[in-house]
């Protein structure tokens, strides 16, 4: 019988795929090919392997440069904010394909805070680390070529060996010892309940296992015949009915926490009790951990409970990986702010403790400072000491066109009328003259309806236009219109190429193209009800600010 994977810690570094990107009909791959033909792109490619390189280019060039670089080497892309990471991930997924791309999320909590990160965040992080540590595992798809992360993920140390953390892979026809499977789920910090309602929970009814993995959008109903998995079905939390339109061929079950209460961890927790008997709150916490009971905020004790040195994300990537900072000035400022925030939190916690609140988890002799955010310079020194390149892409002037470790591209932003009808008319007139003289142009929009409206407006302005297929490059004499996720357009004078994005024309940021439907403004910031806990503050569309208490099911006559 098959047992859930529970690999031990490994000293091998992770792996990203290398080599030339395979040709594919990704929505924006044709635009990448057009940009790659520019002499500036050739210079970037020629500098692959350069230890330190700063590229000066407009912000719109970033996804194209990353895609071109990823053709030759694995890339870790670092952004200052989560929104930038989301936008870049959406753009890259349509340039190189989502299968070889992953976004590595950061904790929502501070390293020393008495709060644990969300189960979905932990699951997504463990999935990325698993793929890096086991690139040949075909159940996850092709090996990763690009990882996108915020600076917060870059500077926060992690527990060692997370890429080899226990994982369960469910497929039809696989066999498990059912009782052992239940025990493993508990060890992975899943909570047994009567009815599954949120990620990190499971329920058992006879030979049926309902589980809500940390990385899926729907819970999964697993039917067994004896010890064999006979069927996997997604179902809805609201009414517990199956969702046949959601395919479930392989389901990976990752842990809900980055600190698992193994026998060694429980033993270490019990041993620490004697060393810190004066701290009643800490002793109570350690006592529960020693009994195998998860405690909120227990991740703050990782340095004390786990042997070995904590790891950075950059430690888990292969030697040839290029770490690329986007807008390094913002990244550096954000890293500095994170370090200050962590220190200010500790100081505020001690002040609150003096007034009767809980003391922060910072006892002497436990080396908890090891989990604090690392200075960006320290991370850079670690990367460079390992012989890995450290690059930056900045919109700020970085000196002459090519001076030592600087490379400046003469690309320009696309025209941006930002919703003004008069300005849009001027841009269309410019495009008409541009393509009439042999230039090439393309407009990228997120939805099929928007694409049709743009085509109509172009024709009304006497601009020859054509609908481009996914992966098709724009040709001369026509303006190509295609669907895709692109936040800003780009102009390449040497190629006589103009790329316009929907936000350039409308002034509105777009979400990922997906199925072509843009979310209404009110839904873009919608809260996932499965992520809410009792007592959380929320804003209701009609009733304003309120406090979430519980989610209940009612039968309406």
Long-range contacts of 208-213 (CB under 8 A, 24+ apart): 209/178, 209/181, 209/182, 210/235, 211/185, 211/253, 212/237, 213/123, 213/251, 213/252, 213/253, 213/254
What's the mean pLDDT in 487-511?
Answer: 92
What's the mean pLDDT in 123-138?
Answer: 95
Helix (H) / strand (E) containing 53: strand 52-56
pLDDT band at 541 (very low <50, low <70, confident <90, very high): low
Residue 368's pLDDT is 74
- What is the tens place of the pLDDT at every residue in 252-293? 999 999 999 999 999 999 999 988 887 787 888 899 999 999
Instruction: Tell me the CA distances in angstroms from 11 to 164, 309, 311, 317, one per residue in order.
Output: 10, 12, 11, 12
Question: If we measure between CA atoms, which residue out of 73, 64, 115 comes closest to residue 91?
Answer: 64
- What is the tens place of the pLDDT at every residue in 171-218? 999 999 999 999 999 999 999 999 999 999 999 999 999 999 999 999
pLDDT of 1 strictly over 90: no
Cα 218 from Cα 236, distance rounded (Å):
7
DSSP string, 128-186: HHHHHH-TT-GGG-SPPSEEEEEHHHHHS-B-TTGGGS-BEEEETT-BB-HHHHHHHHH
The first and second tokens of residue 267, run together, are: 């033993």
pLDDT of 379 strictly over 90: yes
- What is the tens place of the pLDDT at every residue in 229-247? 999 999 998 888 888 888 8
Contact by Cβ (8 Å): 197, 147: no
Contact by Cβ (8 Å): 255, 117: no
Three-state secondary structure along 461-476? CCCCEEECCCCCCCCE
DSSP string, 352-412: HHHTTSPPPS--TTS-GGGGSPPPHHHHHHHHHHTT--EEEEESS--SSSB-SSEEE---E
Cα 495 from Cα 483, distance rounded (Å):
22
Contact by Cβ (8 Å): 506, 449: no
pLDDT of 301 strictly over 60: yes
- Percent of the chain exceeding pLDDT 90 equals 68
pLDDT of 488 strictly over 80: yes
pLDDT of 356 strictly over 90: no
In 3-state terms, the chain is what percent helix, strand and coil (to 5)?
A: 35, 20, 45
Residue 517's pLDDT is 36
What's the mean pLDDT in 471-492?
Answer: 94
Q: Which of 150-154, 248-252, 446-450, 532-536 has the highest mean pLDDT?
A: 150-154
The first and second tokens of residue 243, run together, are: 């969702």
pLDDT band at 526 (very low <50, low <70, confident <90, very high): low
176: β partners = 2
The residue assigned the tokens 């109903």 is 221
The first and second tokens of residue 102, run together, are: 């992953």
Cα 369 from Cα 382, distance rounded (Å):
18
pLDDT of 18 strictly over 50: no
Task: Please state at what angle helix 328-354 crosses helix 376-385, rounded to 10 degrees.
Answer: 130
Contact by Cβ (8 Å): 522, 536: no
Please state whether beta strands 208-211 and 497-501 pair in parallel, antiparallel, or not at all (unpaired): unpaired
How open is the CA angle 467-472-475, to the nearest 5 degrees?
75
pLDDT of 11 strictly over 80: no
Cα 199 from Cα 357, distance rounded (Å):
31
Cα 343 from Cα 474, distance rounded (Å):
52
Cα 237 from Cα 209, distance rounded (Å):
14
Please state whether beta strands 412-413 and 497-501 pair in parallel, antiparallel, or not at all (unpaired): unpaired
> What SS3 state is found at 517?
coil
Contact by Cβ (8 Å): 190, 119: no
Average pLDDT, the chain: 86
| End-to-end CA gap in the chain | 48
Whole-structure pTM value: 0.85
């Amino acid at each position: 019988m098959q047992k859930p994977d529970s690999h031990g810690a490994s000293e091998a570094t992770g792996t990203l795929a290398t080599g030339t990107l395979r040709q594919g009909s990704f929505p924006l791959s044709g635009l990448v090919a057009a940009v790659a033909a520019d002499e500036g792109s050739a210079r970037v490619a020629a500098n692959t392997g350069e230890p330190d390189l700063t590229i000066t280019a407009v912000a719109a060039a970033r996804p194209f440069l990353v895609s071109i670089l990823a053709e030759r080497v694995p890339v870790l892309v670092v952004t200052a904010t989560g929104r930038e990471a989301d936008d870049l991930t959406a753009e890259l997924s349509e340039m190189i394909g989502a299968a070889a791309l992953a976004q590595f999320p950061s904790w929502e909590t501070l390293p020393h805070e008495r709060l644990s990160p969300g189960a979905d965040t932990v699951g997504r992080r463990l999935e990325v680390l698993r793929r890096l540590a086991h690139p040949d595992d075909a159940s996850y798809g092709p090996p990763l070529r690009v990882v996108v992360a915020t600076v917060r993920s870059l500077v926060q140390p992690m527990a060692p060996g997370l890429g080899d953390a226990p994982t369960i892979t469910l497929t039809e026809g696989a066999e498990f010892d059912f009782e052992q499977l239940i025990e493993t789920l508990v060890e992975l910090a899943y909570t047994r309940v009567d009815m599954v309602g949120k990620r990190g929970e499971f329920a058992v009814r006879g030979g049926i296992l309902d589980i809500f993995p940390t990385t899926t959008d729907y819970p999964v109903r697993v039917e067994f015949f004896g010890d064999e998995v006979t069927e996997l079905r997604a179902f809805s939390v609201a009414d517990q009915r199956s969702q046949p339109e959601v395919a479930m061929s392989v389901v990976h079950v990752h842990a809900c926490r980055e600190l698992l209460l193994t026998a060694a961890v429980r033993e270490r927790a019990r041993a620490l009790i004697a060393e810190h008997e004066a701290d009643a709150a800490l002793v109570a916490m350690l006592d529960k951990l020693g009994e195998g009971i998860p405690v909120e905020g227990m991740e703050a004790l990782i340095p004390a409970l786990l042997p070995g040195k904590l790891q950075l994300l950059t430690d888990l990537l292969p030697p040839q990986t290029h770490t690329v900072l986007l807008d390094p000035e913002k990244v550096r400022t954000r890293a500095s702010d994170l370090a200050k925030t962590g220190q200010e939190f500790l100081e505020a916690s001690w002040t609150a403790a003096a007034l009767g609140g809980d003391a922060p988890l910072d006892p002497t002799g436990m080396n908890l400072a090891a989990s604090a955010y690392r200075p960006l310079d320290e991370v850079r020194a670690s990367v460079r000491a390992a012989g890995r390149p450290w690059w930056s892409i900045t919109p700020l002037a970085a000196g002459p066109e090519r001076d030592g470790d600087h490379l400046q591209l003469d690309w320009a932003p696309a025209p941006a009328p930002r919703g003004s009808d008069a300005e849009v008319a001027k841009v269309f007139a410019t495009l008409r003259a541009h393509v009439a003289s042999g230039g090439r142009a393309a407009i990228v929009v997120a939805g099929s309806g928007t694409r049709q409206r743009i085509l109509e407006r172009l024709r009304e302005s006497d601009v020859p236009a054509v609908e481009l297929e996914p992966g098709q490059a724009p040709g001369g004499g026509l303006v190509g219109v295609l669907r895709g996720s692109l936040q800003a357009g780009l102009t390449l004078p040497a190629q006589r190429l103009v790329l316009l994005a929907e936000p350039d024309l409308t002034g509105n940021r777009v979400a990922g193209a997906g199925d072509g439907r843009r979310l209404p403004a009110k839904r873009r910031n919608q809260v996932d009800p499965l992520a809410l806990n009792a007592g959380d503050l929320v804003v209701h569309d009609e009733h304003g600010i309120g406090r979430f208490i519980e989610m209940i099911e009612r039968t309406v006559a």
